[in-house]
Amino acid sequence: MTEVEKAAQIILSSKYVVALTGAGISTPSGIPDFRSPGSGLWEKVDPMAVASIYAFRLNPERFFEWFRPLGKTLLESKPNPAHIALAKLEEAGLLKAVITQNIDGLHQKAGSKRVLEIHGHIREAECIICRRSYPTESFLHNYLELGEIPRCQCGGILKPKVILFGEPLPKWVFLEAVGEAQRCDAMIIAGSSLEVYPAAELPTLAYQNGAKLIVVNLQSTYADSIADVVIREDVAVALPAIAEKCLERS
């Protein structure tokens, strides 16, 4: 039995399957991840200097200058076969939720309905002074095309609703994700290095509650040693193969 077949068998024999996805599930869509050797975003800049809440408050211009090309990439990207595979599993009733560390919204674009964005999203921005929220589309053109820093009516700078280093995760979303990890009897971990905490604790939490783990990632992770299945392939190849096996048998 291949690892793909083993993964499909686990999914089909489980009652409550959830997925945890990281940056690696979106790299086939053209979005760079953070830690891959040679191409990771953090190989080019110090994350604490551009993507921490402290740096944002001290020098928001630097954050927006760094984020501008990434923002264009995020908005132009489309779901890849890995996103679509998870959406199909959910549609078939075989996947209950996707917990994602990504801010790109590609799971929703692929058709996933229950997505827990534990690191935030780029659909809205919030004033750092008065806390008023704005839809991103209201200032997107002037920012991406002209380089204008988005500001609130009160004059405060608008911060995208993404979680920067040094910020707590959105409380209720993360608590819901913890609940899913505790409840599931199988977890698919796709495209995550499992190096960013507290998100990286979720597979351990699932495992401690008796869940089987399926890891699909090009690089090794700490969860490999406790996983039931480890697949070292491109997620855009492996996840569709797993979904196909599941759907033809369900």
CA 7 centroid distance within chain: 21
Is 83 considered catalytic here?
A: no
Nearest-CA neighbor of 105 among 19, 25, 198, 176? 25
**Residues across the chain:** 250
SS3 16: coil
48: amino acid identity, one letter: M
Single out the catalytic residue among 83, 107, 119, 121: 119
What the block records as the tokens of 172 is 């209720």
Q: What are phi and psi of 91, to 5 degrees?
A: -60, -35
224: amino acid identity, one letter: D
CA 22 centroid distance within chain: 4
Give the 3-state DSSP-derived string for 73-119, with helices as H, strands as E and coil as C. HHHHCCCCHHHHHHHHHHHCCCCCEEEECCCCCHHHHHCCCCEEECC
| Residue numbers annotated as active site | 119
